[in-house]
Structure 1
Amino acid sequence: MARKDVLGRTGEQLAVDHLIDQGFEIIERNWRCRDGEIDIVAREGRTTVVVEVKTRGGTAYGHPLEAITPVKLARLRRLAGAWCAAHGPVTALRIDAIAVVAGRAGIEIEHVRQVA
């Protein structure tokens, strides 16, 4: 497995651990459909939360959240709709993003709620 893939998987697991620590229930990981993949689907109270995880080994090429462009946000909205269509109606839906920077200074996790 390539170093980039290992870093990505590690970042997703750190994001899952963070969400659990914050009281979220993890419903699904790496859900795929023809339009793409949702990294994490979780529940916070009665709200279903689609979570995009971006992981970097440092910030030399920018902060991970900079990779979440308007085009990416539109795709996340479509994927969230596809997930809801496949799993039935939800009470409330939100899209969050988690940035994981695993650099020499340690691990930093930033959770941004309702990015889209």
Structure 2
Amino acid sequence: MNSKSKGNLVETHASAYLLREGYRVLARNYAYRGGELDIVAKQGETIVFVEVKSVWKTGEGNPAARVNVQKQRKIWQTACHFLHTHREEAPRGFDQPCRFDVLTARMYQTPVQFAHIKNAFEATQVIPQC
């Protein structure tokens, strides 16, 4: 299985997990200027930008550690574009409550095991404004 196929499979499992947890999935693989949002979801009035990371075998380490500051900046920039252009989902634009989560998946376990890190990083730590 190639990396694109693996990514799609992980995001399908992640989307199903979020739905079971009461989220509404708004978009998957939303791209803008070299950045990508794996999943955009809504929990109540909060837009949740979810970065999905996975491990496929034991000993691969902590996948959440791969969401470094550079990756966080790309996520934030892409999230700004999403908020600006998707007024149906985010009618308040930049005043819309939002957060950045990381969802890790251990794909070698059955069923797939998730760790959901809510509010994994603050936007103000990365870029103060859009």
CA shift at 1:59, angstroms? 4.0
* TM-score for the superposition, normalised by structure 2: 0.80
Question: What residue in structure 1 maps to residue 116 of structure 2?
Answer: 111
Q: Which runs of 5+ in 2 are unaligned?
A: 88-92, 122-130
In the alignment, the residues of structure 1 paired with residue 38 and residue 10 of structure 2 have an alpha-carbon distance, to the nearest angstrom, of: 11
Gaps of 5+ in 1: none
Please say if residues 47 and 99 of structure 2, whose CA atoms lie closer than 8 Å, have aligned partners that are also in contact.
Answer: yes
* 1:6 positional shift: 2.0
Q: Which residue matches 2:106?
A: 101
2:25·2:39 contact (CA, 8 Å) conserved in 1? yes
**Normalising by the residue count of structure 1, what TM-score does the alignment of the two structures yield?**
0.89
SS of the residue corresponding to residue 15 of structure 1 reads: helix
Q: SS at 2:120's partner residue?
A: coil
Question: In the alignment, which of 97, 101, 104 is matched to residue 92 of structure 1?
Answer: 97
User: How many residues align structurally?
Assistant: 114
Task: Assess if the C-alpha contact under 8 Å between 2:36 and 2:74 holds in 1.
Answer: no
Query: Which one has the bigger strand percentage?
Result: 1
Aligned amino acid, residue 70 of structure 1? V
Instruction: Give the SS at the match of 1:18.
Output: helix
C-alpha displacement of 1:14:
0.8
- Does the CA-based 8 Å contact 2:100-2:119 persist in structure 1? yes
Following the alignment from structure 1 to structure 2, what is the Cα–Cα distance between the partners of residues 35 and 4?
18
Q: 1:71-100: CA deviations, max 9, x gaps? A: 111221111111111113152111111101
Contact residue 35 and residue 77 of structure 2 kept, 8 A: no
Q: Whole-Å Cα distance in 1 between the matches of residues 40 and 52 of structure 2? A: 11
Deviations 1:49-76 (A, max 9, x none): 1111112202423221111112111221
Aligned to 2:54: 55
The alignment-based identity, stated in percent, is 26
- Listed as ranges, the matches of 1:1-116 within 5 Å are 2-88=1-87, 89=93, 91-103=96-108, 105-106=109-110, 107-116=112-121
